């Protein structure tokens, strides 16, 4: 028995702690004591930060995701933007990637591949809408000039901090409005002019700003 090693786990117990069966260490040397080590901290000491690191170990970061949350748009706009950033809409490239039949060329302009980026940012109708709305309500925001996940953070981070929340919200409003119009054209064969869509977005935007007291 290792001299002096007694139970301290239960108040008043104090029973002798015996070496485990088969332990070959002599005398009191069998006892090395217990120590809690947190392998997620560089100094082995537990912290809430290390626990959160463990919780999110293995996750991948979604570019642009922080901008979705730094906004005052309602959840349907945020959800649309989240799906767009993850390329989860059923554009032709997405269908083909999943082994489904689809015409790879955009059915609306026949000038480019039918991708989410083309339909949301680069399709001629989309270009008109982005330019019209941004020129009207947020002229400091740069027009889309790259893929969504690249352009969005770059354009918003170039703005003064006080205007970023507003810009994120506006981007989500435009993205969803263009997608709805795209669906109307493809599935319902109904076409609204760019100027009418721009006016509808600006009206919606003005009502958002009124709700915020702007």
Positions touching Zn ion (CB under 5 A) are 106, 108-109, 123
Residue placing its CB nearer to Zn ion in the complex, 121 or 173 = 121
Residue 101 beta carbon to Zn ion: minimum distance, rounded to whole angstroms: 19
Residue placing its CB nearer to Zn ion in the complex, 108 or 170 = 108
d(CA 88, CA 116): 9
Residue placing its CB nearer to Zn ion in the complex, 118 or 165 = 118
Residue placing its CB nearer to Zn ion in the complex, 114 or 166 = 114
Residue 44 beta carbon to Zn ion: minimum distance, rounded to whole angstroms: 57
Residue 108 beta carbon to Zn ion: minimum distance, rounded to whole angstroms: 5
Residue placing its CB nearer to Zn ion in the complex, 123 or 152 = 123
Residue 121 beta carbon to Zn ion: minimum distance, rounded to whole angstroms: 11
Three-state secondary structure string covering the chain = CCCCCECCCCCCCCCECCCCCCCCCCHHHHCCCCCCCCCCCCCCCCCHHHHHHHHCCCCCCCCCHHHHHCCCCCHHHHHHHHHHHCCCCCCHHHHHHCCCCCCCECCCCCCCECCHHHHHHHCHHHHHHHHHHHHHHCCCCCCCCCCHHHHHHHHHHCCCHHHHHHHHHHHHHHHHHHHHHHHHHHHCCCCCCHHHHHHHHHHHHHHHHHHCCC
Residue 197 beta carbon to Zn ion: minimum distance, rounded to whole angstroms: 16
Residue 148 beta carbon to Zn ion: minimum distance, rounded to whole angstroms: 15
Closest residue to Zn ion: CB criterion: 106
Residue placing its CB nearer to Zn ion in the complex, 77 or 125 = 125
Q: How far is CA 59 from the centre of its chain?
A: 12
């Amino acid at each position: 028995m290792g001299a002096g090693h007694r139970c301290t786990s239960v108040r008043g117990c104090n029973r002798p702690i015996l070496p485990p069966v088969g332990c070959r260490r002599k005398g009191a040397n069998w006892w090395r004591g217990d120590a809690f080590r947190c392998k997620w901290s560089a100094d082995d000491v537990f912290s809430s930060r290390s626990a959160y690191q463990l919780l999110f170990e293995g996750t991948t970061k979604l570019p642009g995701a922080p901008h979705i949350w730094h906004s005052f748009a309602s959840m349907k706009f945020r959800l649309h933007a989240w799906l767009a950033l993850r390329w989860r809409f059923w554009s032709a490239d997405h269908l083909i990637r999943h082994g489904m039949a689809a015409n790879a060329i955009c059915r609306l302009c026949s000038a480019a591949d039918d991708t989410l980026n083309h339909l949301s940012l680069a399709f001629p109708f989309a270009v008109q809408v982005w330019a019209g709305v941004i020129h009207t309500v947020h002229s400091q925001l740069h027009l889309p000039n790259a893929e969504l996940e690249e352009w969005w953070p770059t354009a918003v981070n170039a703005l003064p901090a006080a205007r970023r929340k507003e810009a994120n919200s506006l981007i989500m409003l435009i993205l969803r409005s263009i997608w709805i119009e795209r669906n109307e054209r493809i599935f319902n064969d109904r076409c609204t002019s760019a100027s009418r869509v721009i006016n509808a977005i600006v009206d919606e935007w003005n009502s958002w700003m009124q709700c915020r007291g702007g």
